[in-house]
Amino acid sequence: MILPIVAYGHPVLRKVAEDITPDYPNLKELIENLFETMYKAEGVGLAAPQVNLSIRLFVMDASPMGDEHEAFKDFKKVFINAHIVEENGEDWSFSEGCLSIPGIREDVKRPEQIVLEYYDENWTFHRNVFTGIPARIMQHEYDHLDGVLFTDRLTPLKRKLLKSKLTAISKGQVDTSYRMLLPR
């Protein structure tokens, strides 16, 4: 089932999300819905707060980027109770966008490597090192679990320049190919 995607300005995007337990209701279905919603919106990652659920769950599929990067061809993953335990390496710039902030793309600086602890969809625990673009997608989605948006990581000047666009998004004054849930 395709779910509406929460738009910028909605309070759920500002909450710190909670860990869940394996008995979380309809988890399998929720994960399927997250993927379906993400594919429909042509995203490479989607976090549960973006469908109005304040839980530490996100999905990603970097395979659309596999044309340029062979290593991402099968990079489809589910992250439950994700926690970044280390960030290493030099900061680097990469152009980010967000399904909750349609029509805006900006360069964001983040460290190149993370150590991430998480459970997969079978509740197997992982502690993995990720680098480059996969790490970047995870850092972006992970921020959603902490109530942080990529626009928060821009300079105050950039944020000021974007302010009217962001306000328009929060009022639904933006064209998207997918349904959005607006703040009341």
Residues lying near Co ion in the complex (CB under 5 A) are found at 98
State in angstroms the smallest separation of the CB of 144 from Co ion. Answer: 6
- Which residue number places its CB atom closest to Co ion? 98
Which tokens hold the place of 132? 């480059």
Closest to 176 in 3D by CA, of 33, 45, 41 = 41
Tell me if 116 sits within 8 A of 83, measured CB to CB: yes
Amino acid at 155: T
State in angstroms the smallest separation of the CB of 122 from Co ion. Answer: 25
The residue (of 95 and 124) whose beta carbon lies closer to Co ion is: 95
Tell me if 98 sits within 8 A of 174, measured CB to CB: no
Active-site annotation holds for 36: no
81: left (phi over 0), alpha (psi -120 to 50) or beta: left
The residue (of 80 and 137) whose beta carbon lies closer to Co ion is: 137
State in angstroms the smallest separation of the CB of 135 from Co ion. Answer: 15
The residue (of 11 and 123) whose beta carbon lies closer to Co ion is: 11
- Would you please indicate which residues are annotated as catalytic (active-site) residues? 141
